[in-house]
Structure formats: structure tokens, C-alpha cells
Structure 1
Amino acid sequence: MSDIVLSIQDGSASVGFLGGHPLVPKGFSPPRSGINGIEQRFMFQLFFPEWHDLSGNCLLFFFDPNNIDEHHVIPDMSTPDNYPKIVDRGVLEKQQRYHSIFIFSAQDLIVDPQIVSPLVRKNMSLVEKSEPGDRFGRLNRSPVWLLGDETPPPSTRLPTFVFQISENYLFERHPTSSPQRQIDYFSSTGVSDRNTDNYKIFVGNEIYIFAYADLIQFGAFVCVQNSE
């Protein structure tokens, strides 16, 4: 079992990084929101170690920090009561309205300086044990569930666990980036800026990411849990 712990370091990242500019294949274009067409923002990139089922590949995560749709604060179908019977391309595309996950070969990638993250650049390192407050997530062979096993349904293949992001993890916002928008029922407009120097993804839920061998080119499936 390994925890992904974030630290600000000199030199190269050991397993990935938040913020900065992603490494992408030539010709890659940033995704846009499936609802309003706004360009999603690059959040982090993870490179899988040799022992992982996805070794030789990397994962890019994009997110719309200004999503203020109260019906989509978490992805569609991301809890067991809303799971589809099977996962297919249509399910993955529908779930990725305000976020996008890309999994592709870690070979022949180039830095794209035109894609700028709203986050402070931080490198990821792997340790065997960490304090909860220091933990970005877990990169294990199987998930550590908060509320019991809620493995998502299969496609034509069984899902492969990729990794998980810790509950209530705060993504440090770059000083030049705009605050995250939030639903605010006490505001005359119904929305307001979060008065913080960070972003939350999916309102701070523990995030579990699963991939499917037959659907890898269409991203990954997300499910969430919350201990509160």
C-alpha cells in the first residue's frame, strides 16, 4: 500500500504533479465542459509506477472549478443508488460533464505551455505511510473504502482500480487564479466566490477512480464517498 503525498520539491516529480503545465501528446486539446462549453482547467498528472496495472501510462485530470450547477456538484452516477447497470462509452461521456480524465501512454509527451493550471505547482512523491493531513491520495492495488465496498459495475470487463483522492483535500490555488465559484442561497445571484486560497473537487468527497481495459481511450469512472 502506498500513499501519494504532495511536497514542493526541486527537480523532477517522482510520480506526478499538481499545477503547472501538463505533459501531453502532440496535438492534444484541453477538454471543454459538456454543459456550457467552458474550457476545463488542468489540475494534476499522475504517472503509474512499474507495479501498477497501468504501468507505462499516465493520467491527466481536468476540472471546471466554476461549475455552479447544484444538480452536478458530484459526477452523475457516482454513488451506488445511481450506478448504471453497465459502464460503456456513453456512461463515461455523460459522467464527465464538468471534469475529464485522460489515460494514455507516458511515452513521447511534450510540455504544453498554453495549458496553464490554476493551482500552485506541487510534486507528488510516494511514501508507505503518511499523516492524513499530508495525504493527497492513495495509489494501491485496491481501494480503501470509507463506507464499505462500492466498486462500480463492469463494462465488458471488470473495472480496474486506479487510485483515490483523499476526502476534503484542498487544492492550493495559484495567487493569480480566480477563486472557485460556489452555490450561495443567501446571495442575490445564487452564487458567490469561495473566500479561500484553495479549490475543492466534488465538494470534498473521497474520490475513487476506476478504469476499464476496453474503454481506456474514453477516460475513467468516478465514484465518491463521504464520511460525514
Structure 2
Amino acid sequence: MDACWFIESKPAVSGQNADDTSFIGGRPRIPAGVDLPQCRLCGADLTFFYQVAFPAGHVWQSLSMAVFACTSCAHEQYLIPEMLTGVLAGADIPQGFLTQYQRNFRIVVFETRSGEQRMDYTPKIRFNRLELVPSRKTAAKRNKLGGKPNWLLDDESPATYASSVPMKFLMQWIEPPRFDLEDDAPAQIRLGLRGKPEPSRHRYYELFLGNQLYFFGTEAGHEPLVYVITQI
């Protein structure tokens, strides 16, 4: 891909619109037939963090990705998405892994045109629009869609899924946003110094501990599945 799109957060001067397609917080815009996801560890409704609509020219053009995660429980082994074992660069992701590892988070992928603002969801994170700014600086160290990943540590790019489906780089957060809370939103449950779950003192949520995030997806034409990698 010879282009990318820088992600810029724009504080909303007006409320969320039904046709917003890339944004943080507020109400998700996902198909009406998709159930709002729940945590497989504690059963609580997952919190909606953000979604992006991949633009024309992106490997996932015409698709959107909405990211949900649990803010109601904290388990030491699931603070970040499960990692593959062995050599990570060029790895083959086993069949079934990309659905099974979504225990306390869920990534909903859908045709952008089929999304609807879900009035049955109560917002917890304050709404901010995301502007996608086209650029040919594919190696720039920015929050971006497409281009080339900027690894903090070693390259962990997977090669394939289920031995045959190529995996493509979708986006990265190398400066993850702070997800500020609505006034009546409950505090995020985190592990305290003694290793026990307790409410955070902060009035914002963190996605996967606030680590740098890299998203890879299956090649267009296959079932759209996402692999999330964190580095710190």
C-alpha cells in the first residue's frame, strides 16, 4: 500500500450524528442485527471504545471495525489480548484463534453502509470524532490506518491465518488516546498493587493497559478477522 491515513482526534463541537463513521466513545454505529457484546469472563456488557471506517484504497475499504472491551473486571492473564507462542514474526495464526481469544473484548467488523447508531447502548466514554487524513508518508510514526507498522520492539507481523489466508496490516495506535468518561460512567476495574481488582481513581479508561496497539486483518475476500498485538 503506497498510502496511509493519519488519525487525528477532533473534540466534538456538536453532538454525535447518526452518520458519523469514525469516532471515539458515544454510541457505536454497528448493524441492528448484531448483539451488543458481553464479557465472556464476567458477563457484563462490554464498553464501546472506538470505531473506524476504512476508506477507499485501504485493504479493508468499505468495512468498519468497532472495538469493545470489558471495564467491569480485571484478570491478570487477560489484561492484554492473548499472544501467540513461538516466533511471532511471520507466524501462522491457528484456525479458530481469532475468535477464541476475544474473551473480555470484542472486535465487530461489518460493511460500513450497514451500520446504525445503537440507541440501545448507554455511552460511557465521551464522544470525539476521528479525522482520517490521507498521506503518502507510509513509514511515519503516527496513529494511522495502513502504511507500515512502527514497532516499538521487535517486528511481530503475522504472515497467515489458518495456514493459507494472508494477514494485512490495518492500523496502529502508537500514541493511544485517553478515553475520557461521561460524568455518570463507572470507574474502570483494574488490578491494584496487591493484585486484586479495584476501581481506578482516574476518570478515563485505558484500552489494553494503554499499550501501543497494532491491528492486523485477514485479506479482503475472506471472513474479516482481526489480530491485536500490544507492545510496551
TM-score normalised by L of structure 1 = 0.84
Q: 2:167 aligns with which of 134, 159, 163?
A: 159
Q: Distance in 2 between matches of 1:215 and 1:172?
A: 33
Evaluate the alpha carbon distance shift between residue 99 and residue 80 of structure 1 in structure 2; reply closer, same or farther with a 3 A threshold. Answer: farther
1:9 aligned partner, one-letter code? A
2:5 aligned partner, one-letter code? S
Evaluate the alpha carbon distance shift between residue 107 and residue 63 of structure 1 in structure 2; reply closer, same or farther with a 3 A threshold. Answer: same
Q: Distance in 1 between matches of 2:154 and 2:118?
A: 40
What secondary structure, in the 3-state scheme, does the structure 2 residue paired with 1:45 have?
A: strand
Shift of 1:20: 1.3
Aligned to 2:186: 178
Evaluate the alpha carbon distance shift between residue 221 and residue 157 of structure 1 in structure 2; reply closer, same or farther with a 3 A threshold. Answer: same
What secondary structure, in the 3-state scheme, does the structure 1 residue paired with 2:114 have?
A: coil
User: 2:215 touches 2:229 (CA, 8 Å); kept in 1?
Assistant: yes
Q: Distance in 2 between matches of 1:16 and 1:39?
A: 22
Structure number having the greater strand percentage: 2
Aligned to 2:122: 116
Shift of 1:88: 4.3
Shift of 1:81: 5.8
Show structure 2 runs of 5+ residues with no match.
136-140
Evaluate the alpha carbon distance shift between residue 168 and residue 53 of structure 1 in structure 2; reply closer, same or farther with a 3 A threshold. Answer: closer
Q: 1:215 aligns with which of 220, 223, 227?
A: 223
1:161 aligned partner, one-letter code? F
User: 1:25 touches 1:110 (CA, 8 Å); kept in 2?
Assistant: yes
Evaluate the alpha carbon distance shift between residue 157 and residue 191 of structure 1 in structure 2; reply closer, same or farther with a 3 A threshold. Answer: same
2:155 aligned partner, one-letter code? D
What secondary structure, in the 3-state scheme, does the structure 2 residue paired with 1:2 have?
A: strand
1:177 aligned partner, one-letter code? A
User: 2:12 touches 2:129 (CA, 8 Å); kept in 1?
Assistant: yes
Q: 2:9 aligns with which of 6, 12, 27?
A: 6
Q: Which deviates the most, 148-157 or 173-182?
A: 148-157
Q: Distance in 2 between matches of 1:74 and 1:82?
A: 16
Q: Which deviates the most, 20-29 or 53-62?
A: 20-29
User: 2:42 touches 2:73 (CA, 8 Å); kept in 1?
Assistant: no
Aligned to 1:102: 108
User: 2:91 touches 2:158 (CA, 8 Å); kept in 1?
Assistant: no
Shift of 1:37: 2.2
Shift of 1:157: 1.6
Deviations 1:78-101 (A, max 9, x none): 686679953245201222111111
Evaluate the alpha carbon distance shift between residue 83 and residue 144 of structure 1 in structure 2; reply closer, same or farther with a 3 A threshold. Answer: closer
Evaluate the alpha carbon distance shift between residue 136 and residue 183 of structure 1 in structure 2; reply closer, same or farther with a 3 A threshold. Answer: farther
Show structure 1 runs of 5+ residues with no match.
130-134
Q: How many residues align?
A: 217
Structure number having the greater helix percentage: 1
What secondary structure, in the 3-state scheme, does the structure 2 residue paired with 1:93 have?
A: helix
User: 2:171 touches 2:215 (CA, 8 Å); kept in 1?
Assistant: yes
What secondary structure, in the 3-state scheme, does the structure 1 residue paired with 2:160 have?
A: coil
Q: Distance in 1 between matches of 2:90 and 2:223?
A: 15
Q: 2:60 aligns with which of 46, 54, 57?
A: 54
Aligned to 1:132: none
Q: Distance in 1 between matches of 2:84 and 2:206?
A: 17
Shift of 1:104: 1.2
